[in-house]
Amino acid sequence: SLSRREARNSIPMILNNAVNPNTIFANNEMSLQDIEIYGFDYDYTLAFYSSHLHTLIFNIARNILIEEHRYPEGLKEYDYIPNFVIRGLHYDVQKALLMKIDAFHYIQLGTVYRYSSHGHTMKQFMDIFSLPEMTLLSCVNDYFMKHNIDYEPVHLYKDVKEAIGDVHVKGILYRAVEADIEKYICYGEQTHAVLRKLSENGKKMFLITNSPFDFVDRGMNYIVGKDWRDLFDVVIVQADKPGFFNDRRKPFRRVTDNGVLLWDRIHKLEKGKIYKQGNLYEFLRLTGWRGSKVLYFGDHIYSDLADLTLKHGWRTGAIIPELRKEIKIMNTEEYIHTMTWLQGLTGLVERMQVYRDPDSQAVVQEWIKEREEIRSQTKGFFNSQFGSLFRTYHNPTYFSRRLSRFADIYMASLSCLLDYDLRHTFFPRRNPLQHESPFWPEQGGLSAVGIPAQARRTQVSPE
């Protein structure tokens, strides 16, 4: 047909305008020229971990359930495979809803939801560290169902949550990573390059992390070098985010290089020294770093970014490792062809539905059936059960909506900053509303395509 031919003919043009996976995307207009202070989370922001870390967390927590909570030994048969599930290891949404299951769970890449009919609450697990927890919960569910064991879902969830917490709180995870750091940490060189670039351009930097100092120090020594603390004006460990951003009660304590906690009152946050806990209100008072001159990067939409942008006016940057993989999928010829034809087919159905004669309606019904098949196919490009992290069919996911609300910019990793001059201004793409005409092609975001990296790096005179 003509429309299918048109869709096929448009593929070369779209391929030529493929989106660069290293692009920084903007939800709000923001100029790096206005940013004087850069703040960072540590885990999955400065330090990226290999998949071995999730296996480690899963195995330790599974063993804690067995040894300390007296769960069945048979759970040792389960290995860490991040399944995408509704209940146990089975995917059946309709059946789960019809049975009015007390608790159901699903994992969508890095986003996990849990609903309990007891408390009528929905909790979002929005970071990658949640994957081992929800995979373990799914495996225990599966074991109990296979062996016809009665259990209370909320208590099960609490036990799994406690076991995962012990992996962190008891220091088991940190000791294991420190003992074999090359196995678990990656992306060191690019993180070092970003920090060096900011330092050489006179930017102030700070680190706020929930991880303990020994763990951070070992990782940063590996990523940046032994002089990593010289790059940061303030370093805060065991901050207890997101409570750090809201609770005014916890004071700062200084920690020595040997891990000794000092109890002297803190009157100034000094470069080269390590501080523990504290709260953001005291941080703002001691540093004066307020408002839109501060840009803070984190991987967790709620724990890292929400309060900062809503209550304190900081600019925020989200680090989303899955973004790079999704962009590479979207740049493939198969995906472009499928999406182009889906759009064309939708247009045909919309225009031809007005013809009510039997022959026309038969054709329209065939198109509708084909359209539904293609819509399911497009989800399968990313994940066979839940599709893209960012989109469900034509609608943004809940995660995507929260991202646009709380993050001024977002990117796959901090290394994306290396392609931009520190005077660069990010502009959000103007997407037409449903009642507006699309004056500009949807694929034509110049910040993402068509501009070579060298042009973005070029120094531009402020005059």
Q: pLDDT digit string (tens) for 104-119?
A: 333 333 344 444 444 4
pLDDT for residue 96: 40
State the average pLDDT over residues 225-242.
94
Whole-angstrom Cα distance, residue 315 to residue 167? Answer: 33
Mean pLDDT across the chain? 83
User: Does 102 participate in catalysis according to the annotation?
Assistant: no
Burial 251-271 (b: 16+ CB within 10 A, else e): ebbbbeeeeeeeeeebeebee
Largest CA distance in the chain: 85
pLDDT for residue 239: 94
Query: What residues have CB less than 8 Å from 178, skipping those under 6 apart?
Result: 214, 215, 218
41 in a labelled binding site: yes
The residue written with tokens 């670039």 in the block is 197
Whole-angstrom Cα distance, residue 151 to residue 147? Answer: 11
Whole-angstrom Cα distance, residue 295 to residue 186? Answer: 24
Going by pLDDT thresholds of 50, 70 and 90, the confidence category of residue 69 is very high
Inform me whether the pLDDT recorded for 388 exceeds 50. Answer: yes
Inform me whether the pLDDT recorded for 242 exceeds 90. Answer: no
Inform me whether the pLDDT recorded for 414 exceeds 50. Answer: yes
pLDDT for residue 247: 87
Query: What residues have CB less than 8 Å from 400, skipping those under 6 apart?
Result: 389, 390, 391
Q: Which residue would you say has higher pLDDT here, 328 or 99?
A: 328
pTM of the full structure = 0.82
pLDDT for residue 57: 93
pLDDT for residue 278: 95
Going by pLDDT thresholds of 50, 70 and 90, the confidence category of residue 417 is very high
Going by pLDDT thresholds of 50, 70 and 90, the confidence category of residue 3 is low
Whole-angstrom Cα distance, residue 389 to residue 391? Answer: 6
Active-site hit among 41, 127, 159, 233? 41
- Please, are residues 132 and 57 in contact by the beta-carbon 8 Å criterion? yes
pLDDT for residue 455: 40
pLDDT for residue 364: 92
Inform me whether the pLDDT recorded for 68 exceeds 50. Answer: yes
159 in a labelled binding site: no
Q: Which residue would you say has higher pLDDT here, 81 or 196?
A: 196
User: Does 43 participate in catalysis according to the annotation?
Assistant: yes
Active-site hit among 34, 43, 217, 359? 43
State the average pLDDT over residues 178-195.
88
- Return the closest-CA partner of residue 323 out of 397, 389, 394, 393: 389
Q: Which residue would you say has higher pLDDT here, 137 or 201?
A: 201
Inform me whether the pLDDT recorded for 452 exceeds 60. Answer: no
State the average pLDDT over residues 203-227.
94
The percentage of the chain sitting over the pLDDT mark of 70, rounded to a whole number, equals 81
